[in-house]
Structure formats: structure tokens, C-alpha cells
């Protein structure tokens, strides 16, 4: 069954354009100039129940606007959207009780109160039965390892602790669809991994449908098999993450360690030098000549160690968006 269906979704904004300076301000009083920004421009996709997908794109691509349309926070200009059979912007109670929207840069916890107070408030808002509330809370607290902090004033918690409590507050009512907008933003690598591990376990245990946006490709690589890439309001890719690599990665990286001095100029004869810090170097070569390039390095240079790798997914995505090589 389809948990989410999006068809020809559009959301445009009229943005005021003003010339700089006092003269520009005076002119704007007489005649305002506007520009139409196509935040979401004819977007189409479907998501199955229990699926966890990565929804990625550069800043201003339309990710958050799309999520806000799916949660009913924004009314689109046109198009069809169905989430669990509901029209989101009607905001009926049965729909709201089945979704959760977590934004990494927005707080729902009461700043001057312990997270537990927010949890109790959400229990009443979502009309969660007492036994279910306590059982779910216990499970989430154990999974996220925050038993010692839920009764500490929110303002005194670290960013990672707050993010964990934000997730608990959003999941107490066991939503069927979870929208995660940059859930690991600002966290250190250790805390990012803990949040990712929790999301993976939660998805498997509750079969919740999850849409994840993130600028950290580590989040997407570890959690999502399928990715939807949006750029300038349009879907530019919808498929398996592995397919991006096979379709767009026409280069390979050769990492090499030398046991004698070589020059960067000499290495340029083999391929594009991405990094060079003797005794280590990294070269970018076309996929079809990677083996030949490696053979030439071994034959003509004092090589101690050599490794051929696929380019990082971050570089592939960056190249896809910018059209520039990742060297």
C-alpha cells in the first residue's frame, strides 16, 4: 500500500526585489518589483508503507517546502497529495495523530522545563492511553539512552541530548509516517551515528514510513536504499542509491603511497591529481582506464601501496548538482 502519493505538486512564491540603497527603497514604495520563485515545481513520487527514503538536494532545492506540503503546514498552488489516505492541508485530527515532523533546527521542547514535561503534554494532546504512553516512553528512553536527562531542564542539555529528546517527543504517539528534516545537523560524528542507529532500529521495529532530509551523506548512505534528489524545485533522480553511483560515477580514485620522491607534474601524466602530500597522492581517472592507469603507476613509479576506489557519494552528488568535476 502507498503511504504517500504526490502528483504534480507545485508551490510558488512571489518575492519582493529591491535595489540597494535609499534610492532603491524609495522606488520600491512607488513600484514594487517581484520575482516568482518556483520552490516546488511539478513534483511526483510515491512511497510505500514502511519505506525509508533519503530526500536530498542543495540549499533552496525545495526539500523543506515539499515536506511542509506533505504535513499540511503549507497549502500548495496545485497538485495532488495523499498521506495515509488523507489530504494533508485539511489537517484533520486523525491525520495529525498518525504523522510526526522533526526539524533539526526547530525546538518543540519547553526551554525552561525538563523534557518530561513536554512528553506529558504530548500525551494529552495526542490522547495517548496511559499504559501505551509509559511503555513507549520506556522503550524510547532505553533506545536513546537518555534516562538520566529527561528530568533535567532542557536549556541545560547538550545539543545531542536535546535532539534525542526531540525525537522522543515526536514519537510518543507512534506515528505511521515520520518526516525528519536535518535531524543530525550540528551534531558531532559520534552523536550522528547514535541518531542514525536509532532511526534504523525504529524503522525496522515499527515499520514506520520515514522521509529523511540531510546534508550529511553519511545519514543517507547508512539509512536509505532509495533516494529522491530534488534541485530547483524539480525531481532530478528517484531510485536506488547504488544506481546513482553506476549512472553518474564515470571516474575512479586511485590512492597511492610512494617510497621515493615523485613530483605532482609527473603524476599529471597519469590522471587528474586530486590530492598530493608526499608520500601520499590521490588521482582521478576515467573508469574505463583505471586498470591501465594503475598498471602504469606500478610500472613507472616507486609505489609502496596502491588502491582503486569508487568516488565518495558526496562527490558524485555534488557533481550532479553543479556539473563540475569533483577534483
pLDDT of residue 325: 54
pLDDT at residue 113 above 80?
Answer: yes
Residue 10 has which C-alpha cell?
Answer: 507545485
Average pLDDT over residues 147-160: 92
Residues 82 and 143 in one domain: yes
Residues 286 and 218 in one domain: no
pLDDT of residue 187: 84
Residues 140 and 280 in one domain: no
Of 249 and 307, the structure prediction assigns the larger pLDDT to 307
Residues 88 and 112 in one domain: yes
pLDDT of residue 154: 93
Residue 133's domain is classified under what CATH number? Answer: 3.40.50.300
pLDDT digits (tens, 9 = 90+) for 10-41: 999 887 777 787 776 777 777 777 788 899 99
Residues 150 and 204 in one domain: yes
- Other Cβ atoms within 10 Å of 94 Cβ, number: 9
Residue 257's domain is classified under what CATH number? Answer: 3.30.70
Residues 198 and 234 in one domain: yes
Q: At what angle do helices 130-144 and 159-171 cross, to 10 degrees?
A: 150
pLDDT at residue 56 above 50?
Answer: yes
Of 242 and 294, the structure prediction assigns the larger pLDDT to 294
State the burial class of residue 197 (Cβ atoms within 10 Å of its Cβ: 0-12, 13-18, 19+).
middle
pLDDT of residue 141: 94
Residues 56 and 117 in one domain: yes
Please, which pLDDT band fits residue 5 given cuts at 50, 70 and 90?
very high
* Inside any domain, residue 19: no
pLDDT of residue 327: 45
Containing structural domain, residue 254: 250-309
Residue 263 has which C-alpha cell?
Answer: 613530483
pLDDT digits (tens, 9 = 90+) for 182-234: 888 888 888 888 999 999 999 998 899 999 998 787 888 889 999 999 988 99
Residues 91 and 126 in one domain: yes
pLDDT of residue 58: 83
Q: Which of 127, 188, 136, 139 is nearest to 159 (CA)?
A: 188
Of 100 and 59, the structure prediction assigns the larger pLDDT to 100
Average pLDDT over residues 131-151: 93
% of the chain with per-residue pLDDT over 70: 98
Predicted TM-score of the model (pTM) = 0.80
Please, which pLDDT band fits residue 99 given cuts at 50, 70 and 90?
very high
Residues 128 and 70 in one domain: yes
pLDDT at residue 42 above 80?
Answer: yes
pLDDT at residue 314 above 60?
Answer: yes
CA distance 185 to 193: 12
Residues 234 and 280 in one domain: no
Amino acid at each position: 500500500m502507498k503511504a504517500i502519493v504526490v502528483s504534480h505538486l507545485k508551490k510558488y512564491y512571489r518575492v519582493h526585489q529591491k535595489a540597494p540603497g535609499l534610492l532603491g527603497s524609495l522606488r520600491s514604495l512607488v513600484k514594487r518589483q517581484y520575482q516568482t520563485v518556483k520552490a516546488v515545481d511539478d513534483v511526483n513520487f510515491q512511497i510505500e508503507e514502511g519505506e525509508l527514503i533519503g530526500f536530498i538536494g542543495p540549499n533552496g532545492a525545495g526539500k523543506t517546502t515539499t515536506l511542509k506540503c506533505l504535513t499540511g503546514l503549507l497549502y500548495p498552488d496545485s497538485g495532488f497529495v495523499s498521506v495515509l489516505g488523507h489530504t494533508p492541508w485539511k489537517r484533520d485530527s486523525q491525520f495529525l495523530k498518525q504523522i510526526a515532523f522533526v526539524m533539526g533546527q526547530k525546538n518543540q521542547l519547553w526551554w525552561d522545563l525538563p523534557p518530561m514535561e513536554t512528553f506529558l503534554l504530548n500525551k494529552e494532546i495526542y490522547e495517548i492511553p496511559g499504559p501505551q504512553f509509559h511503555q513507549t516512553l520506556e522503550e524510547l528512553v532505553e533506545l536513546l539512552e537518555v534516562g538520566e536527562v529527561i528530568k533535567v531542564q532542557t536549556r541545560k542539555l547538550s545539543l545531542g541530548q536535546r535532539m534525542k529528546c526531540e525525537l522522543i517527543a515526536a514519537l510518543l504517539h507512534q506515528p505511521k509516517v515520520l518526516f525528519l528534516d536535518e535531524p543530525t545537523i550540528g551534531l558531532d560524528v559520534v552523536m550522528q551515528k547514535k541518531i542514525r542507529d536509532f532511526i534504523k532500529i525504529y524503522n525496522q521495529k515499527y515499520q514506520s514510513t520515514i522521509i529523511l532530509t540531510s546534508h550529511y551523506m553519511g545519514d543517507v548512505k547508512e539509512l536509505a536504499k532509495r533516494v529522491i534528489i530534488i534541485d530547483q524545485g524539480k525531481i532530478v533522480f528517484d531510485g536506488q542509491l547504488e544506481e546513482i553511483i553506476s549512472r553518474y560515477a564515470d571516474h575512479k580514485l586511485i590512492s597511492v603511497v610512494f617510497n621515493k620522491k615523485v613530483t605532482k607534474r609527473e603524476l599529471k601524466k597519469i590522471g587528474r591529481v586530486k590530492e598530493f602530500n608526499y608520500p601520499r597522492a590521490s588521482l582521478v581517472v576515467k573508469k574505463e582506464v583505471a586498470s591501465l592507469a594503475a598498471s602504469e603507476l606500478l610500472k613507472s613509479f616507486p609505489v609502496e601501496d596502491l588502491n582503486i576506489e569508487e568516488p565518495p557519494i558526496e562527490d558524485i552528488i555534488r557533481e550532479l548538482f553543479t556539473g563540475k568535476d569533483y577534483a
